[in-house]
Structure 1
Amino acid sequence: MGGGPRADTTGADPAAYATYVDARDSAVLVREDLIDHDADHPSWEVFPNSPRVDRSSVDTRKRWCAVPARGCAEVVGVPGHPAWDVDPATGQSTTTTKGNNAIAVQNWFSNDPFSVGTETATPRPDRRYDYPWTNQWQEQRCNPEVFTSPQANDIDAARANLFAMHNRMHDWTYHLGFTEETWNMQQDNLGRGGLGNDPEQGNAQAGGISGGPPAFAARNNANQITPPDGVAPTTNMYLWQPMAGSFYAPCVDGDFDMSVIAHEYGHAVTNRMIAGPSAGVSSPQGMSESWSDQLAMEYLFEHGYAAPGRRGFTIGEYTTQDPNAGIRNYNMSDSPLNYSSVDYDFVGLQVHASGEVWSATNTDIRAAMMRRWGSGTPAIQKACATGARDVTACPGNRRWIQLVFDSFLLMSVSQVSMVDARDAMLAADRIRFGGANQDLLWNAFAGRGLGETAASVGHTDADPTPGFTSPYAREGSLRFLPVGERGPVAGAQLFVGRYQARAVPVADTDAATPLTDRVDLVPGTYEFVVRAPGYGHTRIGPVKVKAGQNRTLAVSLRPNLASATAGAAVTGDGINLPQIADDDEATNWASLGAPVAGRQVTVDLAGDVQQVRRVQVSAMLRPAVAGDADAGTQSRYSAVRQFRVLACTATGPVTCADAADFRPVYTSRPDAFPAVAPRPRAPELIMRSFDIPRTKATHLRVEVLTNQCTGAPDYAGEQDDDPRAATDCATASPQAQNVRIAEFQAFTR
């Protein structure tokens, strides 16, 4: 099971879940050939991608038809297969949302993702499935009365759209190799291998009535349950709705977001094809979620439905109203992630976030393939998508996605790491294209830390060994040289990318570790983070590494005056106070169960009177730690948003023990950690640097003004008309009483 965000009340990460025609086909085709009027051919009114993302109710649906006809935007189906709405047992139309590849039903009254509804769309004897769409869930702002209204929350349009999208994914994946012989999903396998009796069962508006507030058991999610071949899979599309302190979605219906529908269908593909058909893939490093994102993106692109630019690489723009990252942390076409930070997100090894490393890697590969093999015209892209052109006559992106599908069949075990998936893609290229792309594959893998020395201790490894070298490149070699005021700094670590917490360093100056002070990297541009006890964090980059280069990466480190290692002492409110001064974003201070405004931590700076010009603050969270004073799951909404810095100089009777001894010297912007809807994300919470007025002090105090719950406009106010639940985070969520800061660091410059 997998997919988009699952609702919970903690704000933690969601947990997600050549043509042969047989006698039956011939009978259907002959019958259709004899009929010369459009009424006997099916058509569907659908959103090829989604409704408009500006929340308007303009109906932008297109008409898809089984045969060419006036007014049809596109002809759909696979030659030699029944039309989408035909029952293969009778050769007749079901006149509703049921056919050989899929069935779409209403399931308003069940929150059980394994249950399947029975009510298909209102029959259309003329086979014209053009049900009205009024955008009622959005127009009525999630008001539950929509279910008893005449429009019935557009349920017929939802079922018809979901049915058509599942059929379209069946057809597109069929041409890439997800066929009867590789355990696809069909009621009748038409004598072509595999087991039948397993069409995709789609629950539209799952839990629409039963799954809303106060428990939100069936909101803001989508999932796919894929049993072995011959047993029908089930997918659930849910309604989306804002939830206080958990997930701020617009009032939209997931049945109309093809990026989400296609993502879930992708889970069925990988669960059947990898070690298929009964094992189901297990990839805690996140490839299963990534593959689903990739399939959704590529389907939309090849058919010409993707939004322009980076929005075409966004999964869930419609369901989140976020054109940049959608339901992820990063847009897959603009991501800084690499294998050394596969565990970067603050809930630990998490399939959605960790999978973004694999998405970024494959986006690089796809771009390199398009540079080599071209991007083609829209007509060529469409011909490749529908199987009308052989892959060897297709642009680079089609060659790439074919390798992705081929790699599924080359993974013989269900428990796979990213290194396993890398090896399968390399093998797929050797088999399919004679190894024509080995160089660009290896170089792209190496650029994301999945090079020839990358290693993973099994599929659950949260700290795999990254490798940035390629057998097809002349790497550059960097010698890591951190230098402080008194010379080289021992115990410093170098990380590739933007993350330190839960990331794996690539070099260090600690003689007790197996690492050295050197790292080899394929040519490219890199960012680095340096962490050293007593020196806090230093960001470096961009750094351009050239082929054959041998250079010293000298890094000037300034003492962190607020570091416990350097001699600073911490007092104040809350728990885990020393962790705000330990030079480590993997730990944090917390104040729990009290209004957050005014909660503070005071640091007696290392040394005597110091002149401070800059502070660094991190709002990074961490996974649950059993036995810790702050043991449980940490909510995204508890991260600090706005703070101020106060200063005190201990002299004479002034001891800096009282609030009256401190003077304000700096107040951050209200969006110092600028999270927006649908939820706070790791990239918005990691270490940030703030210049402050030149300040002389022996003590600095960091004081919370707001956390993400109390200070972010996107989480404020009543955002729907559902009387059963409030949405204002500051008044309706317990996270208004919790705040966390990972690091407070102070520097002379």
Structure 2
Amino acid sequence: MTSFSKLLKSALLAVAFSAFGAASPVDHPTRRSFTIGANLQIEAFHPLSTFETFGAGIDHPLSKRSKFDLKSAAISFVGSHLSKSASSVAFKSGFSGEVSDHAFLAQMHDGIPFANAVANVAFNKDNKVVTFGSSFVNPSKSFASTTPSISVESAISIAEKALDGTFNNHPPTIEFFAKPDNTAVLTHVVQIQNDATGAWFEAFVDAHSGELVSVTDFVTRASYLVLPMQEEILTQGFQTLVDPADLTASPLGWHSTGTTNTTHFETSRGNNAISFKGAQTATTSESSDALNFIFKQDPTLAPTVQVNLDAARTNAFYVVNTMHDLTYKYGFTEASFNFQNNNFGKGGVGNDQVTISVQDSAGTNNADFATPADGQSGRMRMFLWTFTSPQRDGALENDIVTHEMTHGVTNRMTGGGTGRCLQTTEAGGMGEGWSDTMAFWNEQTSTATPDFILGQYVENNTVGIRTHPYSTNPAVNPLQYSDLQTRTEVHSIGEVWANMLFNVYANLVGIHGFSSNARRDPTTSEGNVVFLHLFIDSLAIQPCNPTFLNARDAWLQADVNRFGGANACALWDAFASRGLGVGAANHTNSFLLPPGCPSS
């Protein structure tokens, strides 16, 4: 079943001008196509996820027990709701959030999990089920034998040859894989990387026939002189920020590698991230004692001169750590699969700081982020941009670094830390949209919501790298849900989703106002605080490989979970204004609001 048709930049911050691809829009929710090398095409299949929300919640079979157990409650609910035996449901991971508890499960057969038949259940603090997502399948034909016919070594060789890479020694697994013809094949699952191209795949090789069935593409393309997070481009000015680390999110600061006896206090390396060029030993050292990283970028010189390289490594390190602390405050913690070497006994796997390769030699005019499962480092690569002379460095444009880091957040939180659950074309498109959304959230400074343009600096172009500015004005940005009928490339789909969320943001800030301290204090009630809570909360409750409809419903349920549904009409108004109203389906618009929500 080998066929994925689009450039292998499934999550690159590509310049998305007007080439929207050629895939059929009907495939958005279940498939994603790539071209790998000169000849290999692979079409990845993901069973369509169902998604149900239950408002204030419903009981599950173990509701009357005096003590709530997440694993038992989730397995019993899935078994009851889908009429599955307990042996066909396995608990994979879970965590307890501020307003809800989350369980992530896999379908099983003869003790072997399915890779692409998964489920997730969220419980509110009253021990009631509030959301349920599932891509469980009912294969119509007999299952393949659970005893492989070919060895894992043979599977590795097949995958290495097909994907032009090398096995990275991550432990292989045996998993079933559901195919579009409603059969289930047994597969060896191995990770293949190519350091020269940056490719990083999880390959599913039929353990009987040796066929490459599918792949997961993990790539989604102290004091510091830096560009502050609320600034987008260098002309707005660098500032020296003193002790910007949030010690409630990074208890040992940014330069400890996770122990008090670290040997890296003085470099751009720490528990959350390491910023380097070429080799991970090539970090930036402090410019003077006392953790000062003061490197004044000279725009008249090439980005590769030492001071500019040090400025780039410093800025990228600052943005990634700031994003770590920000998203931590809003719920992307150790238990919910974030990126840290030392998780301080708070859950999750650990040993997975973000690696930031600045001025990476593998490409130009782009950036990417690879998100493997919890316990393996997220990998960010920032490239030089060649549209100007001297060239410009993407690591010095905050919205690009923020965009890439957000891929790690959304890929980890959707589906329970596997990195497998934003793989369809539609879900991958929303991944791009969430990343643009986090960029514009970080650069707001008041209740005003001016149009937002992404990527101005690297191209020296006020139009930016998207087809339209993000705007509440349909004359400036006319994109609607129905545009997915013709937009079939992930970045162009992402523009539709990000513009919807821009309108959600504007509605919430218009109603609740703006907090200038939202990065540090998530406990207040201003609109930008409310928005980011709903952004993060919705990721964990939406199903694997969500559609626009699933994600909209996850935002609405997240509002019920945290705010009692107080913002329902504001959310519906924004979504419906762009075609995602009551009755929207199959990429056909609806502008209807639910009863009780007046039109604006």
- Scaled to the shorter chain, the TM-score interval is 0.5 to 0.7
What displacement does 1:336 show? 0.9
AA aligned to 2:534 is L
Residue number in structure 2 paired with 1:265: 405
Q: Structure 1's 51 and 299: CA in aligned 2 closer, same or farther, altered over 3 A?
A: closer
Shift of 1:75: 6.2
Note the alpha carbon deviations across 1:213-270, whole angstroms, 9 max, x for none.
xxxxx1110110011000001001111112xxxxx89831111111000000000000
Answer yes or no: is the 8 Å Cα contact 1:50–1:256 preserved in 2. Answer: no
Identify which of structures 1 and 2 has the higher relative contact order when contacts are C-alpha pairs closer than 8 Å and 6+ apart.
Answer: 2
* Identical positions, percent: 32
Instruction: Select 1:275's aligned residue among 410, 415, 434.
Output: 415
- 1:127-166 CA deviation, whole Å, 9 max, x = no partner? 433343343xx524x6xxx74xxx3362112111111111
Q: What residue identity is the alignment partner of 1:202?
A: I
Q: What amino acid is the match of 1:237?
A: M
In structure 2, what residue type is equivalent to 1:368? N
Q: What does 1:433-444 align with in structure 2 at a 5 Å threshold? A: 433-444=563-574
| Larger Rg over CA atoms | 1
CA distance in 2, matches of 1:359, 1:250: 32
The corresponding residue for 1:362 is 501
Taking structure 1 as the reference length, the TM-score comes to 0.48
Partner of 1:204: 358
Aligned positions of 1:687-726 closer than 5 A:
none
Partner of 1:4: 13
- One-letter amino acid of the counterpart of residue 206, structure 1: D
Q: Secondary structure at the match of 1:202?
A: strand
Paired residue for 2:467? Answer: 329
Q: Which residue of structure 1 aligns with residue 539 of structure 2?
A: 408
Distance across 2 between alignment mates of 1:91 and 1:287: 41
Matches within 5 A, 1:581-730: none
Task: Report the AA paired with residue 230 of structure 1.
Answer: G
Q: Deviations over 1:566-605 (max 9, x none)?
A: xxxxxxxxxxxxxxxxxxxxxxxxxxxxxxxxxxxxxxxx
- Taking a change above 3 Å as real, the CA distance of residues 88 and 332 of structure 1, as seen in their structure-2 partners, is same
Match of 1:365, SS?
A: helix
In structure 2, what is the Cα distance between the partners aligned to 1:127 and 1:102?
20
Residue 274 of structure 2: SS of its match in structure 1? Answer: strand
Q: Which residue of 2 aligns with 1:466?
A: 589
Give the aligned residue type for 2:240.
R
Matched, 1:82 2:252: yes
**What's the CA shift for 1:91?**
3.6
Matches of 1:253 and 1:50 in 2, distance apart? Answer: 19
Determine the structure 2 residue equivalent to 1:222: 367
Aligned-pair CA distance for 1:79: 5.6
* AA partner of residue 179 (structure 1): T
Aligned to 1:386: 520
- How far residue 300 of structure 1 moved from its aligned partner, in angstroms, is 2.5
2:241 aligned partner: 64
The verdict on how the C-alpha distance between 1:123 and 1:365 changes in structure 2, with shifts beyond 3 A counting, is closer
Query: Displacement of 1:320 after TM fit?
Result: 2.5
Give deviations 1:279-329, integer Å, cap 9, x for gaps: 24125232110101111111232xx4x998636x22212223333x42111
Q: 1:45 aligns to what SS in structure 2?
A: strand
Q: Tell me which residue corresponds to 2:142.
A: none
Q: CA deviation at 1:49?
A: 4.7
Distance in 2, matches of 1:183 and 1:177, equals 10
The 3 A distance-change label for structure 1 pair 412 and 46 is same
CA distance in 1, matches of 2:556, 2:245: 35
Query: Given that residues 46 and 160 in structure 1 are in contact (C-alpha distance below 8 angstroms), is that contact kept between their aligned partners in structure 2?
Result: yes
Residue matched to 1:447: 577
Structure 1 residues 446 and 52: alpha-carbon distance in aligned structure 2, compared to 1, 3 A threshold: closer
Query: Alpha carbons of 1:171 and 1:349: their partners in 2 closer, same or farther (altered >3 Å)?
Result: same
Report Cα offsets for 1:396-424 as digits up to 9, x if no partner. 122012111110011131x1110111111
2:510 is equivalent to residue 371 of structure 1: yes
Amino acid at match of 1:236: R
Q: Report how far residue 187 of structure 1 moved.
A: 0.6
Q: Secondary structure at the match of 2:443?
A: helix
Length-normalised TM-score, structure 2: 0.59
Q: Give 1:451's aligned amino acid.
A: G
> In structure 1, what residue type is equivalent to 2:11?
G
Q: Give the letter aligned to residue 400 of structure 2.
A: V
Deviations for 1:433-456, whole angstroms, at most 9, x for unmatched residues?
A: 111111221222212111111123
Identify if the C-alpha distance between structure 1 residues 410 and 404 changes in structure 2 by more than 3 Å, giving closer, same or farther: same
- Show the counterpart of 1:340: 482
Indicate conservation of the 8 Å contact 2:371/2:378, yes or no. Answer: yes
Q: Deviations over 1:321-354 (max 9, x none)?
A: 333x42111111241111111244xxx4011112
What residue in structure 1 maps to residue 323 of structure 2? 169
Unmatched 5+ stretches in structure 1: 19-41, 67-73, 108-115, 212-217, 243-247, 457-463, 475-521, 525-749
Structure 2 counterpart of 1:294: 437
Return the letter of the residue paired with 1:44: Y
Contact kept in structure 1, 2:12 and 2:368, CA below 8 Å: yes
Change (3 A) 1:170 1:128: same
Separation (CA, whole Å) in 1 of partners of 2:507 and 2:380: 34
Taking a change above 3 Å as real, the CA distance of residues 153 and 343 of structure 1, as seen in their structure-2 partners, is farther
Q: Which runs of 5+ in 2 are unaligned?
A: 1-9, 22-33, 36-95, 97-221
SS in 2 for 1:64: strand
> Residue 182 of structure 1 aligns to a residue in which SS?
coil
Aligned: 1:316 with 2:466: no
C-alpha separation in 2, matches of 1:179 and 1:52: 26
Going from structure 1 to structure 2, the CA distance change for 1:418 and 1:6 (only over 3 Å counts) comes to same
SS in structure 2 at match of 1:310: coil
1:106 equivalent in structure 2: 277
8 Å contact from structure 2 (residues 537, 558) kept in 1: yes
The alignment partner of 2:574 has SS state of helix
Between 118-127 and 314-323, the greater mean CA deviation after superposition: 118-127
Q: Secondary structure at the match of 1:381?
A: coil
How large is the Cα RMSD of the aligned pairs?
Answer: 3.2
Closer, same or farther: CA 255–342 of 1 in aligned 2, 3 Å: same
How many angstroms apart in 2 are the aligned matches of 1:198 and 1:134? Answer: 30
The 1:423–1:250 alpha-carbon spacing in structure 2 relative to 1, beyond 3 Å, is farther
1:492-531 paired onto structure 2 within 5 Å: 523=599
Indicate if the aligned counterparts of 2:245 and 2:322 stay in contact, CA closer than 8 A: no
Contact (CA 8 Å) 1:430, 1:436: kept in 2 or not?
Answer: yes
Q: Report the CA distance between 1:104 and its aligned residue.
A: 0.4
Question: Residue type of the partner of 1:260?
Answer: I
* 1:50 and 1:257 in contact (8 A); partners too: no
Q: Structure 2: how far apart are the matches of 1:396 and 1:365?
A: 10
For residue 118 of structure 1, give the secondary structure of its aligned residue in structure 2.
strand
Distance 1:254-1:421 versus aligned 2 partners, 3 A rule? same
How many Å apart are 1:125 and its aligned residue? 6.8
Query: What corresponds to 2:281 in structure 1?
Result: 118
Contact preservation (8 Å) 1:64, 1:75: no
Q: Give distance in 1, aligned partners of 2:242 and 2:319.
A: 13
Equivalent in the alignment of 1:97: 268
What is the aligned counterpart of 1:252 among 392, 404, 416?
392
Q: Specify the SS of the correspondent of 2:442.
A: helix
- Using the TM superposition, give the Cα deviation of residue 366 of structure 1 relative to its aligned residue in structure 2, in angstroms: 1.4
Q: Which amino acid aligns with 1:385?
A: R
1:370 Cα deviation after fit = 1.7
User: In the superposition, relative to structure 1, how do residues 291 and 254 fare at CA in structure 2: closer, same or farther (>3 Å)?
Assistant: same
- Tell me how far 1:369 sits from its aligned partner: 1.2
- The aligned length equals 387
Q: What is the deviation of 1:465?
A: 2.5
Instruction: Provide closer, same or farther for how the CA distance between residues 419 and 308 of structure 1 changes in structure 2, counting only shifts above 3 A.
Output: closer
> Which of 416, 431, 450 in structure 1 is aligned with 2:561?
431
Distance 1:134 1:407, change over 3 A: closer
- What pairs up with 1:144-183 in 2 under 5 angstroms? 147=304, 151-152=305-306, 154-183=308-337
